[in-house]
Structure 1
């Protein structure tokens, strides 16, 4: 769920911005809302992120086009903003998406992580905490190393979308899809540009101020790592999509604007 990142040089960012504007106009797309990243009061963990390339990959590969004001889009933007804060804010006190005192995060019914623990280890490590240690040992990784591994695998970004929302606030249940073209390297394994698709389910609890109290994510991390290592095919990794619903990329399957 983490990883709507991307790296690009200035010329590539300009080309990506132009393509974003074309897709926005042609398909009535909306760019993800991650808040005001130009707010001078923000203290960045490293440098201010640029989501231009990541947003383009999201638009090119998404299977849904949730309309403005829909619960699906509200949930999708909340998760994207939460991920941005977790990945890039320097101080936990800056996070606007969580109830810091009550916040808990859990993957696949495993260990409960507090806000302070999540801030320290990063989203990847709590999400991968239940992975077989021979595949990925989250206890031996830190914030920086985990992000380095996965950003190295997906240099153009690792987009994420909500597929369907099954219940509204305060308990929000939804299915989701993560995808990327594996063009980089992961722990010595080189990708060949194959499309990796990761499907799962999420349940989040919101307080009276629409802040996250708990995040519970369900998916198969072992298959994800096995695909990165080349031990299974992309098709084997994404076989769980039948459980949560899927579709072809929106841009490719919709020849006219919506």
Structure 2
């Protein structure tokens, strides 16, 4: 239980040391944290559970190594969409699993887990997370959360048309919020996650405009340009 609810650690599937700064930094600027929960509170237990789940989902490439979930029952769903299993997230990456295709990003045009993560981690190396409020306790835990970090690099990703989109870094905070309902078993492992949030709010906070955003269409080697 302590390994599930304690502070996050990377475990034996962590990336190479030189890649460590790309891990979510949950101690990132403590002054920016809005909620300071008591160590023994339900809020802290939920916060640690989700942080450990995110570490496992992002850095442990075999579901059999995930200790935060009930491996036989676990599913997740986003914004009322279909339930997916853990293998889906491992295949496409955590970002592609939770963001639908739009004019700035497309899971269908991100080749794999590593490519999808690179687009966001190059832009924002550290992405902190906290529980703002818990509405109900186990076995069905509903809570409001906040995910934030500083846009330190340019965003570069492919959109729903397969076009490469670049948004220049502005160095300011990107701050998104959402609500999650987590169903837990008697070992405090997740059996299902349902999350609601607005991914477009995330991209809009990057401040895309004619001055800050460019698109790079694939060009024919013979010089012909596609009409879009």
* TM-score of the superposed pair, with normalisation by structure 2: 0.77
Cα offset, 1:52, TM superposition? 8.9
Tell whether 2:178 aligns with 1:204. no
Cα offset, 1:79, TM superposition? 0.3
Distance in 2, matches of 1:206 and 1:80, equals: 15
Contact preservation (8 Å) 1:183, 1:193: yes
Tell whether 2:149 aligns with 1:180. yes
* TM-score of the superposed pair, with normalisation by structure 1: 0.69
What count of residue pairs does the alignment treat as equivalent? 193
Distance in 1, matches of 2:24 and 2:45, equals: 22
Contact preservation (8 Å) 1:135, 1:226: no
* Aligned residues: CA RMSD: 2.2
Change in Cα spacing, 1:58 to 1:81, as seen in structure 2 (3 Å) is: farther
Equivalences for 1:1-258 in 2 at 5 Å? 33-35=7-9, 37=10, 42-44=12-14, 46-47=15-16, 49=20, 54-128=25-99, 130-132=100-102, 134-141=103-110, 142-155=112-125, 157-187=126-156, 188-228=166-206, 230-231=208-209
Contact preservation (8 Å) 2:153, 2:168: yes
* Corresponding residue number in structure 1 for 2:214: none
Structure 1 stretches of 4+ with a deviation exceeding 2 A read: 46-53, 226-229
Q: Greater helix share, 1 or 2?
A: 1
Once the two structures are superposed, what CA deviation does each residue of 1:98-125 show, in whole Å capped at 9, x if it has no partner?
Answer: 1112111111011321121122222111
Once the two structures are superposed, what CA deviation does each residue of 1:172-203 show, in whole Å capped at 9, x if it has no partner?
Answer: 00001111121211012121211221011111
Cα offset, 1:54, TM superposition? 1.6
Contact preservation (8 Å) 2:78, 2:194: yes
Cα offset, 1:58, TM superposition? 4.9
Q: Greater strand share, 1 or 2?
A: 2
Change in Cα spacing, 1:229 to 1:89, as seen in structure 2 (3 Å) is: same
* Corresponding residue number in structure 2 for 1:253: none
Change in Cα spacing, 1:211 to 1:53, as seen in structure 2 (3 Å) is: closer
Change in Cα spacing, 1:51 to 1:60, as seen in structure 2 (3 Å) is: farther
Report SS of the residue matched to 1:56. coil
Structure 1: stretches of 5+ with no match in the other structure = 1-31, 232-258
